[in-house]
Structure 1
Amino acid sequence: MSLACLLGLSTLSTLSAPALADKVPEYRSVSGVVGNLTAVGSDTLSVLVTRWAAQLRRYHPGVRVQLQAAGSSTAPPALIAGTTRIGLMSRPMSDQERQDFTREFGYPPLGVPVALDAMGIIVHRSNPLEEISIAQLDAIFSATHNCGGQAANRWGQLGLSDEWNDRQITRFGRSATSGTYGAFRRIALCDGDFRLDVSEQPGSASIIGAVGSSPNGIGYASFSTSSPLVKQLSVSREAGGHAVFPSRASIRDGRYPLTRALYIYVNRVPDEPLPALEQAFLSLIMSRQGQQAILRGGYVPLPEKQLLHWRQQLGLEDVDAL
């Protein structure tokens, strides 16, 4: 039995999903799309890529998509080495990663946002805490406190009392290869350094399992995954500010502070179209069917204006024969 089943994990796909905008076009198959496509990188994106790959095969049975989801930091080296043309990242490429790619090919990689996600802050279901600020997250997880927090080691330092006052905080996070690690570090730690006692986990399900079995635990995981073993907290940008719970609406409009975009990076020669297979894959993602897969996976589709912009940038109107 999978870890997800053992934990009773579910996604927001079980909730009523907003209808997609009428302007989002249907995917229309074209001839000549065959071959193997390898996608390398983000574990977070692996759920969506699996769904998109299944959809693509229904239109193009001669296509095989291979997925290697060891973390966002594995995508840039694979793109540079030529072992993939599809890099999956749950954070933007760093300046150094872009420079390394440009040094190799003479032009920068093309990063295409394909969906929105957010990092939910989870605690054990018995924890009475309901909300937390960015400064408090910095105080819990950071060794450098660039966001202005002061080290917090007990739950009483976050305002809990009685039997919680002296309980020691147990921290769970992702490894440095993860884009979630990088995104959390950028937003919640203000680019600071993690404490050495943060217990690294391989994915969201593992973090939920660890927090769910540790009454003093706290961690961060994709907002789209939930479990009765844990609860998610509302998050405020400033101490004493309005705390926002992660939802599709608060992520889409940017009110939830730990919102992020999910990216597909491609090796595209400027002013040249992508090869047919990569073009078909991105066309599917940016279609009504691909965006519906995002909803079913528990993530948030791109806002209509942004989606149509990237369809135009990628030349997808011609591919779909619109």
Structure 2
Amino acid sequence: MNKKRVTKAYKQLLPPLSLLLVLLMLGGCRERSAAETARSGVLIVSVDRQLQGVADIQGEVFSRHYPDSRITIVPAASGKTLMSLLDHKAGAALISGELQPQEDSLVASLNRPLRREPVGRDALVCIVNSNNRVATLSLKELSVMFSRKGSETTPLIRADDYRLETLLAGKIGKKREDLRAWACRSDGELIRRVGADRSAVGVLFRSALNAGTISDAERNLVRVVPLVSERAGGKAFLPTRQNIFDGSYPLVTTVYYVYYPGNVLATGFGSWLSSSGQTVFERSALVPFKLLERTIILK
């Protein structure tokens, strides 16, 4: 009698269990399929700190277009951004400027090659106290200031931003280890120190100066100095979008998206940044890498 009851109960459980098993299998199939597309799945993108704001917006807009995707942005000091990708903690990276020599060596030693796509433009800007009367600066003058030889200025940069240091040193004809400047713990601290010292000159990324973490009150403490371009016959240029795009401004850098080609979502997000995402860059602190086409309808 007990055996019959157990058998009957077991038979009653079979249909629900079978249905549950089928649903789990179908659910697993859908999840694997989503993870293997260029428009769905989860992607972690490691970014240089000053790029976090625009990267967050790009990820949000991408996910609104493709709801099955989730882009997580992880900011890091520029010396660690690419390492997260090489250590497979991230599936892609967004960096300002060229790879550093040690990064090039690591990438060259990989069995899985990385792909690097230019997606935007940024620039280094020189800021002084709003009451400082200096009209323009040349790269030669910056070279003297950031060697602290024969200069009465107080040069300031952000601490541990190796990519900024490498770019600045290369532009003013020095090696990174030859730069001499006071280091600040954050871009906000750098701006406040320049705003409190008429002899100070600070260098930071344009995207950092225009980031959402910097208040209007802080930006009003300083002003951006036009830089003389030797290529333009000594004419000085401000880091406007047009001057950055056409290269008139002398301290321009390229923003690169770096990823493993075998990661399909990373490839899809990179394709977005190079196409539809260019419009997002145009409305951000960065400048698009490509010239955007505009359609004018004549009636």
Q: Normalising by structure 2, report the TM-score.
A: 0.74
Aligned match for 1:259, one of 252, 260, 268: 252
* Aligned residue number for residue 134 of structure 1: 139
8 Å contact from structure 1 (residues 85, 267) kept in 2: yes
Aligned match for 2:228, one of 228, 233, 236: 236
* Aligned residue number for residue 128 of structure 2: 123
1:297 is displaced (CA, Å) by 1.0
* Aligned residue number for residue 209 of structure 1: 192
Aligned: 1:56 with 2:56: no
Equivalenced residue count is 248
* Aligned residue number for residue 164 of structure 1: none
Change (3 A) 1:197 1:181: closer
Instruction: Specify the code of the residue in structure 2 equivalent to 1:65.
Output: I
CA distance in 2, matches of 1:277, 1:183: 30
CA distance in 2, matches of 1:54, 1:101: 29
Aligned match for 1:41, one of 40, 47, 51: 47
- Bigger Rg, which one: 2
1:178 is displaced (CA, Å) by 4.2
8 Å contact from structure 2 (residues 54, 285) kept in 1: no
Instruction: Specify the code of the residue in structure 2 equivalent to 1:44.
Output: Q
Change (3 A) 1:277 1:244: same
8 Å contact from structure 2 (residues 137, 226) kept in 1: yes
**% identical aligned pairs:** 22
Aligned: 1:277 with 2:268: no
1:248 is displaced (CA, Å) by 1.1
Aligned: 1:219 with 2:216: no
1:55 is displaced (CA, Å) by 0.4
* Aligned residue number for residue 170 of structure 2: 186
* Aligned residue number for residue 159 of structure 2: 175
CA distance in 2, matches of 1:208, 1:217: 10
8 Å contact from structure 2 (residues 128, 195) kept in 1: yes
* Aligned residue number for residue 296 of structure 1: 283
| The 10-residue stretch of structure 1 (236-245 or 117-126) with the greater mean CA deviation from structure 2 | 236-245
Q: What are the Cα deviations for residues 133-192 of structure 1, in whole angstroms up to 9, with x where unaligned? A: 10111111136xxxxxxx2332xxxxxxxxxxxxxx222102234422322222134334
CA distance in 2, matches of 1:189, 1:219: 18
Higher relative contact order (CA 8 A, sep 6+): 1
8 Å contact from structure 2 (residues 100, 163) kept in 1: no
CA distance in 1, matches of 2:287, 2:38: 31
CA distance in 2, matches of 1:220, 1:235: 12
1:233 is displaced (CA, Å) by 0.8
Change (3 A) 1:68 1:178: farther
CA distance in 1, matches of 2:68, 2:220: 41
Instruction: Specify the code of the residue in structure 2 equivalent to 1:198.
Output: W
1:196 is displaced (CA, Å) by 4.6
8 Å contact from structure 1 (residues 234, 245) kept in 2: yes
Instruction: Specify the code of the residue in structure 1 equivalent to 2:290.
Output: P
Change (3 A) 1:187 1:201: farther
Aligned: 1:79 with 2:62: no
CA distance in 2, matches of 1:232, 1:52: 27
Higher helix share: 2
CA distance in 1, matches of 2:243, 2:38: 41
Instruction: Specify the code of the residue in structure 2 equivalent to 1:60.
Output: Y
Instruction: Specify the code of the residue in structure 2 equivalent to 1:67.
Output: I
| The 10-residue stretch of structure 1 (211-220 or 110-119) with the greater mean CA deviation from structure 2 | 211-220
* Aligned residue number for residue 214 of structure 2: none
8 Å contact from structure 2 (residues 38, 266) kept in 1: no
8 Å contact from structure 1 (residues 43, 178) kept in 2: no
Instruction: Specify the code of the residue in structure 1 equivalent to 2:220.
Output: P
1:295 is displaced (CA, Å) by 1.6
After the TM superposition, list the runs of 4 or more consecutive aligned residues in structure 1 that deviate by more than 6 angstroms: none
Change (3 A) 1:189 1:32: closer
CA distance in 1, matches of 2:124, 2:161: 16
Q: Which runs of 5 or more structure 2 residues have no equivalent in the other structure?
A: 1-35, 211-218, 294-299
1:92 is displaced (CA, Å) by 0.8
| The 10-residue stretch of structure 1 (214-223 or 245-254) with the greater mean CA deviation from structure 2 | 214-223
